[in-house]
Amino acid sequence: MKDLGDRMPLGPLDPGNSDPGFWVRFHSRVMEQAQLELGRRRAHMDLSIPEVVFAWRRTLVPMALMAAALAGILLLGQGQASVPLSPIALEEALTQDLLQEPIPLVLGRERELDELAFLSLAERF
């Protein structure tokens, strides 16, 4: 197989190799079985997004109202938090367990940074 001239015959893998009418029958059988789905898709081809949403209104609108009511109940039922939460910065949360300094801190140093030193630091992450 290393040489391009050594090709394996793939004819035995082709179901139509010994039966010349196989692919014609296969195509007609697949198209016959897909006829209902293709007809359904063809009928809905002209629908726009507002028409689809309008068709879903019986389910979509009540569910949206229920979700909004539930969110309002949850927000009103919470009241004031007894223990004030301390805000945490995203960078602090992402870098709190790192053993090395993160790359932005290394890049923000005042002194000139050697490229090889930076690459060696970056490989440790």
* Distances from the Cα of 105 to the Cα of 34, 116, 121, 125, angstroms: 60, 17, 12, 14
Q: Would you list the domain boundaries of the chain?
A: 1-46, 47-77, 90-123
Both tokens of 118, joined, read 């930076």
- DSSP state, 18? S
User: Backbone phi, then psi, for 77, in 5-degree steps?
Assistant: -80, -10
pLDDT in tens, 46-87: 778 888 778 888 888 889 999 999 998 888 877 665 666 666
Both tokens of 56, joined, read 């879903």
pLDDT band at 100 (very low <50, low <70, confident <90, very high): low
pLDDT in tens, 6-31: 788 888 888 888 888 999 999 999 99
Compute the distance between CA of residue 9 and CA of residue 32 in angstroms, rounded to an integer. Answer: 33
Is residue 83 classed exposed, middle or buried when 0-12, 13-18 and 19+ CB atoms within 10 A define those classes? exposed
Residue among 29, 35, 33, 34 at smallest CA distance from 15: 29
Residue among 92, 119, 94, 97 at smallest CA distance from 106: 119
- Quick one: average pLDDT of 83-108? 65
